[in-house]
Amino acid sequence: MGTLKLSREALYSNLDIIAQQVGAKDKIAVVLKDNAYGHGAVLIAQAVAKYGVTQAVVRLESEALEIAEFFENILILADFSTVVDSKFSYAINALDAIEKFPRGTKVELKIDTGMHRNGISPDDLKRAFKCMSQQGLKCVGVMSHFKSADTLSSEWFWQRKAFDALKETAVRLAKSYGWNIRFHISNSAGTFRSSQCTDDLVRIGIAMYGCLQMDPTLLQPTLKPVLSLYGNKMATRILKEGERVGYNGIYEAAYDEVVSTYDLGYANGLDRLASNQYVTPQGIALRGRISMDSATFSTDMDELLIFSDANEYAQCVGTIGYEILACLDKDLKREWCD
Q: Which residues contact 291 (CB under 8 A, 6 or more apart)?
A: 246, 247, 265, 266
Residues 176, 125: Cα–Cα separation, whole Å: 13
Would you give the distance in Å from CA 188 to the centre of its chain?
9
Residues 283, 293: Cα–Cα separation, whole Å: 22
Secondary structure of 28-43 in the HEC alphabet?
EEEECHHHHHCCCHHH
Indicate if 247 belongs to the active site. yes
- Give the active site residue among 50, 100, 161, 247: 247
Farthest-apart Cα atoms in the chain, separation:
79
Degrees to nearest 5, angle at CA 61 with 24 and 43: 55
Which pLDDT score, from 0 to 100, does residue 27 have?
97
Residues 191, 208: Cα–Cα separation, whole Å: 11
Which pLDDT score, from 0 to 100, does residue 96 have?
96
Residues 88, 29: Cα–Cα separation, whole Å: 13
Residues 149, 193: Cα–Cα separation, whole Å: 7
284: which DSSP letter?
Answer: P
Indicate if 50 belongs to the active site. no
Q: Which amino acid is at 168?
A: E
Domain architecture of the chain: domains with CATH: 7-204 (3.20.20.10), 227-336 (2.40.37.10)
Which pLDDT score, from 0 to 100, does residue 153 have?
87
Which pLDDT score, from 0 to 100, does residue 303 have?
97
Q: Which residues contact 130 (CB under 8 A, 6 or more apart)?
A: none
**Ranges of the chain with pLDDT below 70:** none
Which pLDDT score, from 0 to 100, does residue 219 have?
85
Residues 133, 181: Cα–Cα separation, whole Å: 14
Q: Which amino acid is at 15?
A: L
Which pLDDT score, from 0 to 100, does residue 84 have?
81
Closest CA to 210 of 40, 72, 9: 9
- For the sheet containing 28-31, what is the strand order? 182-184, 138-143, 106-110, 88-92, 73-76, 55-58, 28-31, 202-204
Closest CA to 289 of 269, 315, 271, 304: 271
- Give the active site residue among 33, 106, 110, 147: 33
337 burial level (CB within 10 Å; 0-12, 13-18, 19+): middle
Q: Helix axis angle, 8-22 relative to 41-51, nearest 10°?
A: 50
**What is the reported pTM?**
0.95
**C-alpha distances out from residue 253 to 108, 172, 278, 298, Å:** 59, 72, 16, 10
